[in-house]
Structure 1
């Protein structure tokens, strides 16, 4: 099972004024036949290459405004053809810059908006946003961003990847993403196009190799996910080709294979915990044995007796003292040694 967790989707929702009294226009998203056919061709190529879990990504620049934000991935996935054994996911990318340092929309009041997405990824472009992504937004909560995607094709990363920040993010369960689109020149790196910081051609390749090696060195090859980030289906690569590519960054062969299979799977399982209280994996349930008296009652709590409940205030049973039946084994061994010396 192989994963591609970054399939960029570009769409500009049409704005319609449905009421003169409304201050903000309502937004709707309509997909043309040509747009659906283009995405279907990309999905067909990915399935042919061996990918089974596909995450369509929507990119937002600077911050999210709940009043104007439109989730157009719901409407898209409902129109795609169902394929046996293929899973579609929805992902939200948030590009963070200097304007995002004061806040970018990840607040408790917008939990229902972010619950519609399966994955949340942050793309920090400043030192403050990178520190916030690693220390604050990777903590388990209903607004956890499990993916930190770095702009690897920039001429130079605008921040230093400190070991303390990286270790904290990995300990909290976050992963660092490498999009192999930069190794092909970066022409279709849609996230950097949104941030007006795209670098193309040989310079983008050189920047990608240098930044990716540094990321692998700092993370020691752990918690790394490799994705595509490609718009043109001609640039897509098979999972094993991608594993051979990123193994040249210093990753071991098994770690390069896990970057597109095992690690993304664990990431998706952790991302599902955003919809539970304090990121608990599942709601606990008490299961009674089938042959017990509690299982026969409609209300098992009524069958419990106060004598069976042990609280912290109740006296603990005292340990039974060992009866003095004779000398201990240690004393017996010492006596035997003394007897042996006397005989000798």
Structure 2
């Protein structure tokens, strides 16, 4: 389950992870009021959708309008908000259809000295969570991994303790931090790793993680995904789910106990078992086809669940055929 940036930052605050001051706005007037309340000379108005690349993204209705903008007055905040709210933002991650912006985050401007990258994911190679950091903040980490993999630093996170102090200091030295910046990073990473473990997160990303001119370390961005299988332990987190940001077919499938992910192909897949489903999709690709979906009905699916699975697959107008691959031993 994904959440919005403003929701992630509220959780960060509760975990004592430093973030900039920010105010949520749902109308242009609220954006103007937020600028005044923050009280600085500059602020940033940020579109809230479940996708990256918002700063470079543009709106279908207003092609010159970016998804993240710097403003210097309440009037600028209100004018930009009027163009952003209710409009469809298209980014590298949304695809051509884009996503409608319904909420904005108005955030204080900072005096930034450096931009870093920080991410925590569950890594099979490490057998648990791994913390990644890089000096290449603000860039897509996939591009850094492809062209400069040596710039990505990794440390395993102990699932019982979190991150040890010596690990944080090692990262700080390798990142070229000095003086109070080292201790500030140590505190930041310690709290962030504990948040990751306590919330059963599957991914936490801060890009960029900024170092201010005064030496403070703050999360300028925040992307968080939670393990769906652990949400039964976190009723508070379940309330943060925004169904309008999710594919309606995936939501419906989840309500029926089905694992469904829509893809761009024209061959529907109905399979029992996630591994078998992935292998089936690989075989389709191997023979020149394109799968229209990932769908795992599980090992104990009932007639009504399989019926619903077919209905969901066939509701996709791109589907020309359905490949059923059922393993009888589950």
TM range (shorter): under 0.3
**Normalised TM-score (structure 2):** 0.23
Greater fraction helix: 1
Larger Rg: 1 or 2?
1
Structure-1-length-normalised TM-score: 0.22
